[in-house]
Structure 1
């Protein structure tokens, strides 16, 4: 199980910067980055939007859970960026920890709205008032994300370089704490 702890699992709301930070970390740490949504799209041969339209959200969530189970069993090191709804399912929370160190990218509703207001690929935001929908979802999810996280990074108005640097420091601190516990 020790080998999995070097893995980094990025969680957070859509538009929080998981993909951007994942790519930055991949470069800095020389680790591959994988996005669970992209892995599911590849596996299914269709987009997330199409999966939601054809089979519904519950089917998609089942695919996420199965993918996390597989990731938790694999031994190679990586950065894993998961969909915004993944931690909401209680079954997924221990699976996320089996995959690696869970990092919550905390973002405000206003920043999410600004980043995604023209994005038509987000099924949960295709509604009359996306900002209200973002606020409602974040109100529910923020506590879940925070409880699930080993590390929390506030991302509003921060560049990915700064976030990557802070995360590397946090990971080193965790590693030092773990070493002291093992002595």
Structure 2
């Protein structure tokens, strides 16, 4: 069984995913890292040199390959992955996977993202915390229709990583 973690950037998908994979004795895959390794270029440079549409096509290609060829993995998706093409349908129709939405508030996301904007192509240009909160709010509104299709939702606000992992373990076992 594969566990697919979805949610907005900085919702904890990679951090929680690594710990969860260890607890489940699964392999951990961060889709963005996987793409960078396969393409031998950073996500930021893919966005700069080839654009977002090209990146989204790569994302789908590798998501599909992982779903078809991997078993016993915890897969952390990029924040936009479920929202493009038929990616969410691929996830939901994969009988070997369960999807989990790590739901995080705008305030918590701003707090986590404000100091790492340069590493995030979609928000690198945003100058103030207020503008970042506005951007995240708009994005979450657009993306929540996809995120909420996940089979399970876990609210992450105010919880330590260990508490979130315990909640996930209880859901999965």
User: So what's the TM-score if we normalise by structure 2?
Assistant: 0.92
* Map of 2:66 onto structure 1: 71
* Map of 2:115 onto structure 1: 118
* Map of 1:27 onto structure 2: 22
Q: What's the CA shift for 1:19?
A: 0.7
Over the aligned positions, Cα root-mean-square deviation in angstroms equals: 1.2
2:88–2:146 CA contact under 8 A, matched in 1: no
Unaligned runs of 5+ in 1: 1-5, 173-183
Aligned-partner SS, 1:125? coil
Output the CA distance in 2 between the equivalents of 1:43 and 1:23: 20
Q: What's the CA shift for 1:90?
A: 3.9
1:125–1:134 CA contact under 8 A, matched in 2: no
Judging by fraction of residues, say which structure has more helix: 1
**Structure 1, residues 16-62: CA drift from partner, whole Å, max 9, x if none?**
00011111112211111000000111111111111100011110000
Q: Which runs of structure 1 show a deviation greater than 6 angstroms over 4 or more consecutive aligned residues?
A: none
User: So what's the TM-score if we normalise by structure 1?
Assistant: 0.87
Question: Aligned match of 1:104 in 98, 101, 108?
Answer: 101
1:26–1:32 CA contact under 8 A, matched in 2: yes
Higher-Rg structure is 1
Aligned-partner SS, 2:119? coil
Unaligned runs of 5+ in 2: none
Output the CA distance in 2 between the equivalents of 1:78 and 1:130: 32
